[in-house]
Amino acid sequence: MLTVKGAVGLVPRAVRNKLKSNHKLTEFYSRSLQRSGLFYGFPSEKKRMAMYSAYLTHQNHRLQNLASIDEGARETSVVIIGIQKLSLTLASLNRVGIENERIFVVSEQDIEASVHCFTTISDAVNSISPSCRLLFLNSGDTIAKDSFELFLRCDSSADLVYCDTDKVDVKARRVSPHFLPDWNPDLQLSTGYVFTGVICRANLIHSNSIASSSIAGLVAELWVKQPQLSVEHIPYTLIHRSFNKTAITNGLTDIRKVLECATHAISSYNEELVVNHVQWPIESEPLVSLIIPTKNGKSLVKACIESILEKTVYQNYEILLIDNGSDETESLEYFAKLNKHPKVRVLSYPGEFNYSAINNFGVQHASKKSRLIGLINNDIEVINPYWLSSMVGHALRDDVGCVGAKLLYSDGRIQHAGVVLGYGGGAGHAHKYFPRYHPGYMKRLIATQNYSAVTAACLLVKKSLFLDVGGLNDKDLTVAFNDVDFCLRIKETGVRNVYCAEAELYHHESVSRGLDHAPEKAARFNRELEYLKKQWGKYIEHDPAYSPNLTLTRENFSIKAKEEFSS
């Protein structure tokens, strides 16, 4: 693989760039590097299997200490969707001790099995007592006796409960774990990530007139109809999923139908990526104030502002360029010229650099007519002309706070695709340095979803929310982590933050820049890191948008190493 990697480096740049635009080829190359253990520190397949084996030992130890099973919980009925490899599912349920009268199969095809058969989920559930607890599985999925009992032990009073999954290979080894985040509504809408191993009460379905025919659709439909639904995630691999392409595609189709019937959003299906793209409605195109701080940096500012002016489809915006003490003649002359543009205002902010204070100053001078605030770094450059349309649609949603973009380094690698709390003891960027066209872990690089925080290098938020929380913290966080702190304060108001995968832009931050080790700057960074830890320890200990079973030593979604698990 080293030879192949070296050979690729010899291919002319123009040819490499053309090849990179082929998603399938890029993904194949990426997976080959992944298997070799050379790619962004990702372990080889052999090591991943060893790491998962170590994890299973840890999981079994943790589950042995859970409370005993409530005898009433044993009366769970099972609803199986589809008939693909149905015999495997039925055999596993038989081993668990689930009797046939408590098994319900939903399929449009007739089957010869001594179980109850229905054509819709609603019909199946309507035949069951409203107080009965249901376990939903896709046909072909299996569960072991120990796992079933552990599933029941983990159940709670939540309306809906789901667990992690894995596969069993031809050698009967447990492989390919799907370590899921806690409830992530926007990830469900884009990928249907919860698609098997779901428990809920029958009365929840009775009272919501469910039309979906898949588990992923069912989960999305319940949440859309009942946004205050309490959803709990069990961070253990208790279900062995099968490869069921039909279940995945049906789930995404159901989700689009749910959105079409219950919202004004327009959803589309990306067949190549196997994800839904959702454009939320933009009524009356409200004014967006884009705040761009700078000191000098003519070439960066020129590329940034011209790309916004020339490429952005959404047109109702103003740009506030905040000049923090520029002293280069060419920059000053360019800024004076910019100030004459009808969409641009140049404002002077003298004094030492304080990122938080500069942006707060910009918001104070935003037009009274603006409804949304955009925080934009001066080294941002537009890629997708619809970036602002996508972000505005999310930012206008009542239940959404901050909206962040997919940002790429100049060489095409990922700079930002959501912020994870806990990386390095503070916070870091999910999938950092991954290739632009890589799907990421469980498609989380290419799918719009909820993260606890996003970077302020390109961030949209309602002006009212910005003002309600007092803007960025310009006293304790002048340079670092101010965006993370801001996003978490916004989140604490009861809304969700969103990483918008459709909004692609360059962030020409140097890949090799590293940390600034000047004593005074290092001291300032450490003070701000300590503030973050003290203020947001609960998110650093467990970020709900990230699985507790994934590593915090790298930003690559690898399984935790044995030494990372606490006893």
Q: Is the pLDDT of residue 518 over 90?
A: no
The amino acid sitting at 364 is Q
Q: Which pLDDT band, with edges at 50, 70 and 90, does 16 fall under?
A: low
Chain segment 5-15, per-residue pLDDT in tens: 445 556 676 66
Instruction: Tell the burial category of 473 from Cβ atoms under 10 Å away from its Cβ (0-12, 13-18, 19+).
Output: buried
Q: Where are the alpha helices (DSSP H) in 279-405?
A: 298-311, 329-338, 355-364, 387-395
What pLDDT sits at residue 396?
98
> Which residue did the predictor score with more confidence, 33 or 375?
375
Q: Which pLDDT band, with edges at 50, 70 and 90, does 35 fall under?
A: very low
Interval 266-281 mean pLDDT: 97
d(CA 238, CA 115): 24
Question: Which of 379, 437, 502 has its CA nearest to residue 17?
Answer: 437
What pLDDT sits at residue 17?
63
What pLDDT sits at residue 264?
96
Chain segment 93-118, per-residue pLDDT in tens: 999 989 888 999 999 887 877 789 99
Helix (H) or strand (E) holding 199: strand 198-201
What pLDDT sits at residue 501?
98
Q: Which pLDDT band, with edges at 50, 70 and 90, does 236 fall under?
A: very high
Q: Is the pLDDT of residue 293 over 80?
A: yes
The alpha-carbon radius of gyration of the chain (Å, integer) is 25
Q: Are 381 and 307 in contact (CB under 8 A)?
A: yes
Q: Is the pLDDT of residue 57 over 50?
A: yes
Interval 487-493 mean pLDDT: 98
What pLDDT sits at residue 348?
98
Interval 261-283 mean pLDDT: 96
Instruction: Tell the burial category of 239 from Cβ atoms under 10 Å away from its Cβ (0-12, 13-18, 19+).
Output: buried
Tell me what percent of the chain is helix, strand and coil, each rounded to the nearest 5: 40, 20, 40
> Which residue did the predictor score with more confidence, 313 or 515?
313
Q: Which pLDDT band, with edges at 50, 70 and 90, does 71 fall under?
A: low
What pLDDT sits at residue 147?
83
What pLDDT sits at residue 22?
65
What pLDDT sits at residue 4?
45
What pLDDT sits at residue 355?
97
Q: Which pLDDT band, with edges at 50, 70 and 90, does 155 fall under?
A: low
78-114 in b/e form (b: 16+ CB < 10 A) is: bbbbbbbbbebbbebbeebebeeebbbbbbeeeeebe
DSSP string, 81-148: E--TTHHHHHHHHHHHT--GGGEEEE-SS----SSEEESSHHHHHHTS-TT-EEEEEETT-B--HHHH
pTM metric for this prediction:
0.91
> Which residue did the predictor score with more confidence, 3 or 169?
169
Residues of the chain with pLDDT > 70, as a percent, come to 89
Q: Is the pLDDT of residue 516 over 90?
A: no
